Amino acid sequence: MFSYYLKLAWLSSKKTWGMSLLMVLAIGLGIGAAMTTVTVNYLMSANPIPEKSEQLYYVQLDSWEPTEPYFENGDPPEQLTYRDATALMQAKKATRQVIMSGMAAVIEPKNKDALPFMVGGRASSADFFPMFNVPFLFGSGWDAQADEKKELVVVINAELNERLFGGRDSTGETLRLAGKDFKISGVMARWNPKPKFYDITTGAFEDVEEVFVPFSLITEQFFDRSGNTNCWKPSESGFQAFLDSECIWTQVWVELPTAADRDAYQGFIDAYAAEQHKFGRFARQNNNKLSDVMTWLEQRQVVSDDASMMMAMALMFLAVCLLNTVGLLLAKFLGKASEIGVRQALGASRKDLFIQHLVESGVIGLAGGLLGLVFAWLGLSAIKAMYGDWIRDLAELDMNMILLAIALAIVSSILAGLYPTWRACQIQPSQQLKAQ
Amino acid sequence: MLELGPMLRALMRNKIGALLIALQIALTLTIMVNAIFMMIERSAQMARPSGLDETNTFYLTNTVFAPDYNLQAALAQDLQRIRETPGVVAATQINAIPLSGGGWSMSLQNKAGDDIDGTGVAVYMVDEQGVDALGVELIAGENFAPSDIIWRDEAATEWPDKIIITKAMAEAMFDGDWNKALGQTLYINNHEPMRIVGIIKTLQAPWNGWDKVENAMLVPQQLDGRNSRFFIRTEPGRRDALMPQLEKALAESDKGRIIRSVKTMEQTRADSYREDQATYRILFTVIVVLTLITGFGIVGLAMFSINRRTRQIGTRRALGASQWQIMRYFMLENLLISTAGVVLGVAGAIGLNIWLVSSFAMKPLTPGLLIVGCFALLAVGQLAVSYPALIAARISPATATRGRA
């Protein structure tokens, strides 16, 4: 029976091919637009480290100026001063803790023909690698001792290892970085969490840095810091004065496995702020936040406004396309009134007719959905071409999205077909036959 | 207008069909008006002048990695080499690039003191060729003299005592009257005085989304650092040839550094507004496709309705209705439905706008745009229905006598 209905659906669609094409196109465009924007939003709001996102906390302390909070809504600053960050590190009150900042340096390849080049890097303490589950191809990160002794060790990413060492195990070899010889302690496997949750201060969807070096080397001034530096109080001249200043430029993450750990740590930073308050700092002493990964990403609103706005518009666009389809299906089914009358007179039950027309709308929906996938793919390609590199990983259809697209197409077209189908079934055979 | 009564009764018999078109038009108007409004906002933002001679300028970054390097001597030599190259009009070392996204900002105040509210300003450290190299227009006062330029250590926090500010910054500091600014003193770091020696017409900050994007100042300083930028202005038409030439000459003159990020100001502008540009194009596509879908939807529904009413139309024609009257009937019917849709759509558009304003820092819609949108959609409806109406008008009166068509 089902194949018969399919055949009827095909014949009916062919008879009014213009309308059918318009419906398929409308559903396709609606689904395509919706899927394009839903995909970008879904990937922008993805959890980059699902296995432990609830145990990793970003630390915010309110060291900002007394007269005005850092954020208009009163949230504490998004980074820490060097003195506060190092104080938290020395206290070691969390299971793991990491201090970090962006950096940049020039690499001089061993091969004399190759030109020196600039890389973006991260200065972090040893816990970075185990804390964020960084996968390694060769070797590993460094240990706390290397931090303490300011050892010249470096972790490089897979791309850089490919470029400089042809992809071989380069651990133990030296890398000429910032005019110094660094020992390679590990090569990261490909790892590119999106959003780049561990540092979103210079953009939430940047690529992972190419080199990682101990944060303690910052004080040696071999290389340049990168990222944002914000100051509210003028500092004295000189680097040490800068380190002691109220300028914020470092980030601290802590790993706290249980809720009790979390509460204890909150107590610790509040006590720290209260103590600093006594020294005349921290005007808002109780404004200290611990945010787990997803809370932090939501707080900083990594999903761009444009993406959310586009999604709202695309969903409304889909609604227009569906209204369009309902109208056309209704017109089409009612236009077949006499045919329906004849089928009823020949013994088709209401149920048969209902299923027949639902199949017909389902077929149109499926065709529209498949077309929608093509449009979504085109839409995402266009987005990649227009927005540039940073959006590359945010414009990929994954299996979830493909299934969602097909489900969306079928559900919406059946919904769209329901009312017209119901109306078609209400047709009285006697009237139709009389009209002949 | 005699037709309105029967028309309404006919519509009531096909309520749902009419309602569907009306809803579709309402949603289309809702999206269209807001999308066009966003497009207008974006293009206005993109059209703001940077104040620079964008077509003839470019910049490059010099990163020194060799240890034991005489920075001041090398930077002076580089600058001289650039300035002596034929085709170069002017060149300066600079700390930040307008519209590039990365830069330096400070706060200036009218009086010295710790508790005085300051006004944010973007800082550009340039030398005596800065004004010429950027191509900004000096509208009052004078440029820096070579003797004004001082070396600035990377960790230094002191500022020179002369500045050139933009007209917008002068207006922000002196109650909207920039003429008062020349010769006045402003304070940086709460206490350090700086005298305004010149005013430039426009110079944008590095951050295009900043609400004070035209607040900028030039200070006569040259950074003594391992990362430095040179901003270069060329004679018209010579920029593209000079870029690789200078990059090569500088890179080969000294192996202790790399020359990188050689980029034109035009490219910087394109990159800076890339997302706005993309959003603009997407919105444009959405509006076009949406209008087409709604238009074709109207055509489709009208065709069906006319097919179903072929005999009625034939009968009306047989009873003396002219072709024009038949056509008018369908045009008027559409106008009625569209008007209902547009009224609903105005409410929808305002509703969506209120949500956009509250969630995403959008501005409120202008009523003019809303009205234009209404008429545009009514016109789309009339245009879409005109072809089916024409077909209806051509139905022969004889159809009435022929049984089913």
**Positive or negative, the Cα torsion across A47, A52, A57, A58?**
negative
Asked if residue B240 has pLDDT above 50, the reply is yes
**Nearest-CA distance A117 → chain B (Å):** 7
B111/B231 same-domain check? yes
A94/A219 same-domain check? yes
| A303 interfacial to chain B (CB closer than 8 Å) | no
Mean pLDDT of chain B: 91
**Nearest-CA distance A376 → chain B (Å):** 13
A219/A295 same-domain check? yes
Residue located via tokens 């038409």: B237
B279/B250 same-domain check? no
On whether residue B60 sits in a domain, the answer given is: no
Checking DSSP bridges between strand B216-224 and strand B192-200, what pairing results, if any? unpaired
Per-residue pLDDT band for B349 (boundaries 50, 70, 90) equals very high
- The one-letter amino acid at A38: V
Residue A305 and residue B20: Cβ atoms within 8 Å?
Answer: no
* Residue A55 zone, left/alpha/beta (φ > 0; ψ -120 to 50; rest): alpha
Cβ-based contacts of B283 with chain A (< 8 Å) = 313
Rounded average pLDDT over A314-338: 86
Of A314, A321, A331, which is closest to B304 when you measure between CB atoms? A331
Which segment, A287-296, A339-348, B293-302, is predicted with the most confidence on average?
A287-296
Asked if residue A355 has pLDDT above 60, the reply is yes
Asked if residue B403 has pLDDT above 70, the reply is no
Rounded average pLDDT over A334-345: 80
Per-residue pLDDT band for A235 (boundaries 50, 70, 90) equals confident
A311/A211 same-domain check? no
- The pLDDT value recorded for residue A288 is 94
Best interface-test mutation with B: which of A20, A21, A313 has the largest number of B CBs within 10 A?
Answer: A313
| B312 interfacial to chain A (CB closer than 8 Å) | no
Q: State which of A299, A329, A359 marks the end of a domain.
A: A299
Among A345-359, A374-388, B191-205, B363-377, the minimum mean pLDDT is found in A345-359
Asked if residue A247 has pLDDT above 60, the reply is yes
Per-residue pLDDT reduced to its tens digit, A166-204: 999 999 999 999 889 999 999 999 999 989 999 998 888
Cβ-based contacts of A22 with chain B (< 8 Å) = 296-297, 300
Please give the structure tokens belonging to residue B225: 């650092």
Give the three-class secondary structure for B403. Answer: coil
Please give the structure tokens belonging to residue A277: 């308050």
Per-residue pLDDT band for A165 (boundaries 50, 70, 90) equals very high
CB atoms within 10 A of CB B251: 17
| A105 interfacial to chain B (CB closer than 8 Å) | yes
Quick one: closest CA in A to B272, which residue? A387
On whether residue A51 sits in a domain, the answer given is: no
Nearest to A197 by CA among A133, A139, A240: A133
Q: State which of A262, A283, A299 marks the end of a domain.
A: A299
Quick one: closest CA in A to B289, which residue? A29
**Nearest-CA distance B362 → chain A (Å):** 10
A193/A314 same-domain check? no
B250/B321 same-domain check? no
**Nearest-CA distance A101 → chain B (Å):** 17
Cβ-based contacts of B293 with chain A (< 8 Å) = 25-26, 29, 320-321, 324
A247/A266 same-domain check? yes
Please give the structure tokens belonging to residue B328: 């008018």
B139/B23 same-domain check? no
Phi, psi angle pair for A91, to nearest 5°: -70, -30
Q: State which of A280, A299, A318 marks the end of a domain.
A: A299
| Rounded Cα distance, B11 and B5, in Å | 10
Interface of A with B in 380-409 (CB under 8 A): 382-383, 386-388
Per-residue pLDDT reduced to its tens digit, A81-117: 999 999 999 999 999 999 999 999 999 998 877 888 9
The DSSP element (H or E) to which B188 belongs, if any, is: strand B185-188
Per-residue pLDDT band for A435 (boundaries 50, 70, 90) equals low
Quick one: closest CA in A to B117, which residue? A67
Q: State which of B224, B255, B286 marks the end of a domain.
A: B255
Rounded average pLDDT over B148-161: 87
How many structural domains does chain A have? 2
A68/A29 same-domain check? no
B143/B216 same-domain check? yes
**Nearest-CA distance B49 → chain A (Å):** 23
Cβ-based contacts of B227 with chain A (< 8 Å) = 224
Residue located via tokens 């395509």: A32
B76/B107 same-domain check? yes
Rounded average pLDDT over A20-24: 89
Is the ipTM value over 0.90, yes or no? Answer: no
| B296 interfacial to chain A (CB closer than 8 Å) | yes
On whether residue A50 sits in a domain, the answer given is: no
Of B24, B258, B360, which is closest to A320 when you measure between CB atoms? B24
Per-residue pLDDT reduced to its tens digit, A385-429: 888 777 777 888 888 888 888 888 778 877 888 888 888 777 777
Asked if residue B165 has pLDDT above 50, the reply is yes
B221/B288 same-domain check? no
| Rounded Cα distance, B222 and A132, in Å | 41
On whether residue B266 sits in a domain, the answer given is: no
**Bond from prior residue into A234 cis (ω within 30 degrees of 0):** no
pTM for the model stands at 0.84
Q: State which of B225, B255, B285 marks the end of a domain.
A: B255
On whether residue B362 sits in a domain, the answer given is: yes
**Positive or negative, the Cα torsion across A247, A251, A254, A259?**
positive
Rounded average pLDDT over A5-31: 84
Contact A202, A102 (CB under 8 A): yes
| B397 interfacial to chain A (CB closer than 8 Å) | no
Phi, psi angle pair for A289, to nearest 5°: -120, 140
Please give the structure tokens belonging to residue B325: 């009257």
Asked if residue B405 has pLDDT above 50, the reply is no
On whether residue B99 sits in a domain, the answer given is: yes
Which residues, 6 or more positions from A159, have their beta carbon under 8 angstroms from its beta carbon?
A190, A210
On whether residue B34 sits in a domain, the answer given is: yes
| Rounded Cα distance, A190 and A38, in Å | 26
Number of helical (H) and strand (E) elements in chain B, helices listed first: 11, 12
| B24 interfacial to chain A (CB closer than 8 Å) | yes
- The one-letter amino acid at B318: A
Contact B155, A242 (CB under 8 A): yes
A210/A320 same-domain check? no
* Residue A81 zone, left/alpha/beta (φ > 0; ψ -120 to 50; rest): beta
* DSSP class of B225: S
B116/B192 same-domain check? yes
A142/A273 same-domain check? yes
Of B35, B271, B301, which is closest to A328 when you measure between CB atoms? B301
**Nearest-CA distance B158 → chain A (Å):** 8
B99/B200 same-domain check? yes
Question: What separation in angstroms does the CA of B61 have from each of A168, A360, B90, B101, B254?
Answer: 32, 64, 17, 15, 14
Best interface-test mutation with B: which of A20, A249, A317, A418 has the largest number of B CBs within 10 A?
Answer: A317
Which residues, 6 or more positions from B341, have their beta carbon under 8 angstroms from its beta carbon?
B21, B22, B23, B24, B25, B26, B29, B377, B381
A234/A124 same-domain check? yes
Q: State which of B198, B222, B255 marks the end of a domain.
A: B255
- The pLDDT value recorded for residue B336 is 92
CB atoms within 10 A of CB A354: 15
Residue located via tokens 């480290």: A49
Per-residue pLDDT reduced to its tens digit, B265-303: 999 999 999 888 988 998 999 899 999 999 998 988 888
B77/B208 same-domain check? yes
Residue B258 and residue A106: Cβ atoms within 8 Å?
Answer: yes
**Nearest-CA distance A165 → chain B (Å):** 21
On whether residue B199 sits in a domain, the answer given is: yes
Quick one: closest CA in B to A416, which residue? B20
On whether residue A35 sits in a domain, the answer given is: yes
**Cα A401 from chain centroid?**
14
Rounded average pLDDT over A364-381: 89
Of A236, A310, A324, which is closest to B297 when you measure between CB atoms? A324
Of A117, A306, A435, which is closest to B275 when you measure between CB atoms? A306
Residue A33 and residue B286: Cβ atoms within 8 Å?
Answer: yes
Cβ-based contacts of A26 with chain B (< 8 Å) = 293, 297
Which residues, 6 or more positions from A141, have their beta carbon under 8 angstroms from its beta carbon?
A126, A128, A129, A130, A134, A155, A185, A186, A212
Cβ-based contacts of A420 with chain B (< 8 Å) = none
Contact A174, A165 (CB under 8 A): no
| A8 interfacial to chain B (CB closer than 8 Å) | no
| Rounded Cα distance, B93 and B101, in Å | 18
| B358 interfacial to chain A (CB closer than 8 Å) | no
Domain residue limits at A77:
56-299
Residue A234 and residue B157: Cβ atoms within 8 Å?
Answer: yes
B118/B35 same-domain check? no
Asked if residue A432 has pLDDT above 70, the reply is no
- Please report the number of interchain residue pairs, chain A to chain B, with beta-carbon separation below 8 angstroms: 137
B231/B332 same-domain check? no
Cβ-based contacts of B297 with chain A (< 8 Å) = 22, 26, 323-324, 327-328
Domain residue limits at B340:
4-47+274-401
Cβ-based contacts of B66 with chain A (< 8 Å) = 179
How many structural domains does chain B have? 2
3-state secondary structure chain A: CHHHHHHHHHHHHHHCHHHHHHHHHHHHHHHHHHHHHHHHHHHHCCCCCCCCCCCEEEEECCCCCCCCCCCCCCCCCCCEEHHHHHHHHHHCCCCEEEEEEEEEEEECCCCCCCCCEEEEEEEECCCHHHHCCCCEEEECCCCHHHHHCCCCEEEECHHHHHHHHCCCCCCCCEEEECCEEEEEEEEECCCCCCCCCCCCCCCCCCCCCCEEEEHHHHHHCCCEEECCCECCCCCCCCHHHHHCCCCEEEEEEEECCCHHHHHHHHHHHHHHHHHHHHCCCCCCCCCCEEEEHHHHHHHCCCCCHHHHHHHHHHHHHHHHHHHHHHHHHHHHHHHCHHHHHHHHHCCCCHHHHHHHHHHHHHHHHHHHHHHHHHHHHHHHHHHHHHHCHHHHHHCCCCHHHHHHHHHHHHHHHHHHHHHHHHHHHCCCHHHHHHHC
A403/A423 same-domain check? yes
Contact A101, A227 (CB under 8 A): yes
On whether residue B294 sits in a domain, the answer given is: yes
Give the three-class secondary structure for B125. Answer: strand
Among A14-18, A73-77, B232-236, the minimum mean pLDDT is found in A14-18
A41/A182 same-domain check? no
Cβ-based contacts of B292 with chain A (< 8 Å) = none
CB atoms within 10 A of CB B276: 19
Asked if residue B203 has pLDDT above 50, the reply is yes
| Rounded Cα distance, B208 and B271, in Å | 11
Phi, psi angle pair for A217, to nearest 5°: -70, -15
| Rounded Cα distance, B295 and B273, in Å | 33
Residue B277 and residue A386: Cβ atoms within 8 Å?
Answer: yes
| A145 interfacial to chain B (CB closer than 8 Å) | no
- The one-letter amino acid at B379: A
Nearest to A265 by CA among A95, A125, A101: A95
Among A344-348, A368-372, B180-184, the minimum mean pLDDT is found in A344-348
Residue B157 and residue A236: Cβ atoms within 8 Å?
Answer: yes
Interface of A with B in 221-240 (CB under 8 A): 224, 234-239
| Rounded Cα distance, B300 and B17, in Å | 12
On whether residue B196 sits in a domain, the answer given is: yes
Best interface-test mutation with A: which of B296, B356, B391 has the largest number of A CBs within 10 A?
Answer: B296
3-state secondary structure B311-368: HHHHHHHHCCCCHHHHHHHHHHHHHHHHHHHHHHHHHHHHHHHHHHHHHHCCCCCCHH
Residue B153 and residue A105: Cβ atoms within 8 Å?
Answer: no
A257/A354 same-domain check? no
Asked if residue B38 has pLDDT above 60, the reply is yes
Quick one: closest CA in B to A241, which residue? B155
Residue A22 and residue B38: Cβ atoms within 8 Å?
Answer: no
